[in-house]
């Protein structure tokens, strides 16, 4: 994705009010809010959003079905329109200086080695999905291998859906997808998942979800109508479980490597690992905020953008109060 900002390094980089790490929905919404408050703000982003494989963004009021690339391009343009800056690249390392400022070193493209200094840091780098070790899942991720009924459910309604029981969240997924299709099956994969207890088995049965025990060996595809279509999941015993759609619970890991030396507190739950932050985005490290999937793995695009806006408002207010005599 082409940045709307300058593509050349400057010899002297001024002190920023806010450095935003990550240019997804949360980071760009935060940058717009900050720029509209006349804050100097720079977003650093590699242009590789988590939802890039998806055909469209859903449940985003007024922009239903917009492609992820188009949405982010519009967001970058809005940031630039208010005087903010978006740089293509990544933050390789960041440290806190003795005076409380943050110094970040960039990598990638024209900004390799550039050092930025800011009064506040907002982490909105999102997360990466760790898929179960089943051949074929990664290649079809975001197409007919999905995880969220609210992101993709309408698009797969009334199709044959197989939920891989590889996570503590898998039963919950199966129950939600059964609202969208009468043909939902559950693979109790005890080689990778926790297995079902009596209450879970009862809940699945009450929704008419058939349970099969076995281990997934890989996905099966076939050419249909000139397209490569998913036809099912092959088990290690040779049985093929037919399916047009596979639902899988990923382990979602916030992209925090560059920021962990600051002393961020991370939290873990069955969904994955993320940055511990208050409702408005304040982390345990003074001057550092987090928004979007970095702090909330379950946030869809709209919620992530709202979190970025709220965090930005809090940062701006904190900077205003800091300047009072």
- Tell me the DSSP string of 236-276: TTS-EEE-SEEE-PPEEEE--TTTGGGT--EEEETTEEEE-
Whose structure tokens read 């990598």?
107
Q: Which two tokens stand for residue 212?
A: 């099969």
Residues 6+ apart with CB under 8 A from 224: none
Query: What is the SS3 assignment for 145?
Result: strand
pLDDT in the model for residue 108: 87
pLDDT in the model for residue 5: 40
Sequence-separated contacts (24+) of 275-279 with Cβ below 8 Å:
275/123, 279/310
C-alpha dihedral over 200, 202, 205, 209, to 10 degrees? Answer: 0
Q: What distance in Å separates the CA atoms of residue 302 and residue 67, rounded to the nearest whole number? A: 14
What are the phi and psi torsion angles at 283 (to 5°)? -95, -175
How confident is the prediction along the chain (325 residues), in pLDDT tens digits per residue?
A: 333 343 333 446 689 999 999 999 999 999 999 999 999 999 999 887 777 777 788 888 888 989 999 999 999 999 999 999 999 999 999 999 999 999 999 998 899 999 999 999 999 999 999 999 999 999 999 889 999 999 899 999 999 999 999 998 999 999 999 999 999 999 998 888 888 999 999 999 999 999 999 999 999 999 877 788 999 999 999 999 999 999 999 999 999 999 999 999 999 987 899 999 999 999 999 999 999 999 999 899 999 999 999 999 999 999 999 988 5
Q: Backbone dihedral region of 309: left (phi > 0), alpha (psi from -120 to 50 degrees) or beta?
A: alpha
Q: What distance in Å separates the CA atoms of residue 315 and residue 290, rounded to the nearest whole number? A: 11
Whose structure tokens read 């963004």?
57
pLDDT in the model for residue 1: 35
Q: Give 3-state DSSP helix, strand, coil % of the chain, rounded to 5.
A: 25, 30, 45
Q: Which two tokens stand for residue 85?
A: 């800056």
pLDDT in the model for residue 79: 98
What's this model's pTM, rounded to 2 decimal places?
0.90
Q: Please name every residue paired with 123 in a beta bridge, in sequence order, or none if there are none.
A: 21, 290
């Amino acid at each position: 994705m082409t940045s709307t900002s300058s593509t050349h390094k400057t010899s002297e980089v001024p002190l920023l009010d806010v450095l935003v790490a990550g240019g997804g929905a949360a980071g760009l919404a935060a940058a717009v809010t900050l720029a509209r408050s006349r804050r100097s703000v720079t977003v650093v982003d590699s242009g590789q959003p988590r939802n890039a494989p998806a055909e469209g963004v859903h449940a985003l009021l007024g922009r239903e079905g917009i492609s992820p690339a188009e949405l982010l391009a519009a967001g970058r343009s809005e940031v630039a329109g208010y005087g903010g800056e978006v740089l293509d690249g990544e933050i390789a390392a960041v440290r806190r200086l003795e005076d409380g400022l943050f110094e970040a070193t960039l990598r990638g493209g024209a900004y390799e080695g550039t050092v930025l200094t800011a009064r506040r840091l907002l982490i909105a780098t999102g997360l990466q999905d760790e898929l179960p070790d089943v051949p074929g899942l990664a290649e079809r991720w975001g197409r007919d291998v999905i995880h969220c009924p609210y992101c993709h459910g309408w698009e797969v309604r009334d199709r044959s859906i197989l939920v891989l029981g590889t996570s503590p969240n898998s039963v919950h997924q199966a129950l939600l997808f059964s609202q969208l299709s009468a043909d939902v099956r559950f693979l109790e994969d005890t080689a990778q998942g926790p297995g079902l207890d009596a209450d879970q088995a009862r809940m699945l049965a009450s929704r008419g979800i058939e349970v099969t025990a076995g281990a997934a060996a890989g996905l099966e595809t076939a050419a249909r109508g000139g397209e490569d279509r998913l036809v099912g999941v092959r088990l290690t015993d040779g049985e093929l479980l037919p399916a047009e759609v596979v639902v899988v619970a990923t382990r979602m890991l916030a992209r925090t490597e560059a920021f962990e030396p600051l002393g961020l507190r991370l939290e873990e739950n069955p969904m994955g690992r993320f940055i511990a932050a208050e409702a408005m985005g304040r982390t345990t490290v003074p001057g550092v905020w987090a928004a979007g999937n970095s702090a909330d793995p379950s946030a869809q695009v709209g919620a992530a953008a709202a979190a970025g806006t709220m965090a930005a408002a809090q940062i701006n207010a904190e900077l205003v109060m800091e300047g009072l005599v």
